[in-house]
């Protein structure tokens, strides 16, 4: 028996050793889904704009939910938008323009509907915010591979922004990424009242940055705008009333009954979870990908947003 045990022990020295399988590398979506509850930030109903379009050809409802930007960005225009919503000004207006790979735009096609009293006129200087920006360099190396942090991209309070300057003197502005909502205007020095709005439905038109006010982003229902027929007129405007998509109502969510208020939350861009998510978006290492890119356009790192189930 002793000789058998020794022989078995000796034989075991020559058995193949199976390496432990490496842990699968999570995708950006899996990183966001695994983020702890403490890393998610609830969006207040007062920061949500709910747009109900006329039902589609099959009678299905079409709701678009827009999150308004927080201070310090674009607050003059956003104050106007709150007044317009409170006055129910958009009820009965329409989506008037859908330009392929560019924008969908809505408002009063006749340009004759009286605006509510008390709307502010905002300066072009307010396209840019000047002041301290905590954590201003956090994503600079990730988003700007050449390391030029005199102008950089980052995230602030869950929003994509660009900036230039030094920590002591920083100028910041929000960016035209897919789904962002801006204010239509006429020629400068007009800056728009907020009554005419658009959302980006194509490749990020970054040439509009600092030339038009950005006030929010579509966080639900973008398909109801991006899938609309393209306008055949100049710049994608619809040429007849029959082509326009009627808007039944636009309301602040806080004006709706509590039970009917949409609820959403976003992944805090100050959290470690978002840092891992952003890195994974810039350097895809999950199994499908062969080579990490080494960087990313900020518009290719959309901030995760999810609905919150009613309790």
36-63 residue pLDDT tens: 999 999 999 999 999 999 999 999 999 9
Q: What is the pTM of this model?
A: 0.89
* Contact by Cβ (8 Å): 253, 49: yes
How many Cβ atoms are within 10 Å of 50's Cβ, its own excluded? 23
What span, in angstroms and rounded, lies between the C-alpha atoms of 262 and 52? Answer: 13
Percent of the chain with pLDDT over 70: 85
CA distances from 40 to 34, 61, 97 (A): 11, 29, 35
Task: Tell me which residue has tokens 């805090």.
Answer: 268
Q: Give the mean pLDDT of 114-140.
A: 83
Residue 184 has pLDDT above 90, yes or no: yes
pLDDT at 4 over 50: no
Task: Note the pLDDT tens digit of each residue in 93-104.
Answer: 999 999 999 999
Q: What is the pLDDT of residue 152?
A: 75
Pairwise CA distance, residues 271 & 252, whole Å: 28
Q: At residue 142, does pLDDT exceed 50?
A: no
* CB distance 265 to 305 below 8 Å: yes
CA distance 289 to 29: 15
Kindly report the backbone phi and psi dihedral angles of residue 214, in degrees, each rounded to the nearest multiple of 5, phi listed first: -100, 135
Q: How would DSSP label each residue in 221-256?
A: -THHHHTSPPP-SGGGB-SSGGGSEEEEEEEEGGGS
The two three-digit tokens of residue 76, written as one number? 């003059």
Local structure of 29: helix, strand or coil:
helix
Mean pLDDT check: name the lowest of 119-123, 242-246, 253-257, 298-302: 298-302
Query: For residue range 208-235, what is the model confidence (pLDDT) as tens digits?
Result: 999 999 999 999 999 999 999 999 999 9
């Amino acid at each position: 028996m002793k000789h058998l045990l020794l022989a078995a022990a000796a034989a075991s020295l020559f058995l193949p050793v199976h390496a432990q399988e490496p842990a699968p590398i999570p995708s950006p979506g899996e990183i966001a889904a695994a983020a702890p509850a403490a890393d998610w930030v609830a969006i207040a109903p007062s920061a949500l704009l709910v747009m109900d379009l006329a039902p589609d050809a099959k009678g299905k409802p079409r709701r678009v939910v827009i999150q308004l930007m927080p201070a310090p960005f674009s607050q003059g225009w956003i104050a106007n938008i709150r007044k317009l919503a409170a006055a129910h000004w958009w009820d009965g207006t329409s989506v008037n323009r859908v330009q392929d790979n560019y924008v969908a735009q809505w408002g009063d096609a006749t340009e004759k509907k009286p605006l509510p009293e008390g709307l502010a006129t905002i300066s072009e200087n307010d396209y840019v915010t000047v002041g301290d920006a905590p954590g201003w360099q956090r994503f600079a190396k990730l988003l700007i591979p050449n390391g030029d942090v005199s102008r950089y991209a980052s995230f602030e309070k869950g929003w994509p922004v660009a900036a230039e300057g030094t920590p002591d003197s920083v100028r910041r502005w929000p960016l035209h990424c897919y789904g962002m909502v801006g204010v239509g205007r006429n020629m400068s020095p007009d800056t728009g009242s907020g009554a005419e709005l658009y959302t980006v439905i194509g490749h990020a038109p970054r040439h509009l940055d600092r030339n038009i006010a950005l006030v929010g982003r579509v966080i639900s229902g973008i398909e109801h705008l991006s899938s609309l027929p393209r306008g055949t007129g100049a710049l994608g405007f619809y040429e007849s009333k029959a082509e326009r998509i009627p808007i039944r109502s636009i309301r602040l969510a806080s004006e709706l009954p509590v039970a009917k208020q949409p609820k959403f939350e976003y992944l805090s861009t100050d959290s470690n979870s978002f840092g891992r998510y952003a890195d994974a978006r810039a350097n895809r290492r999950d199994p499908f990908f062969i080579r990490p890119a080494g960087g990313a356009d900020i518009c290719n790192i959309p901030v995760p947003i999810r609905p919150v189930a009613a309790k």
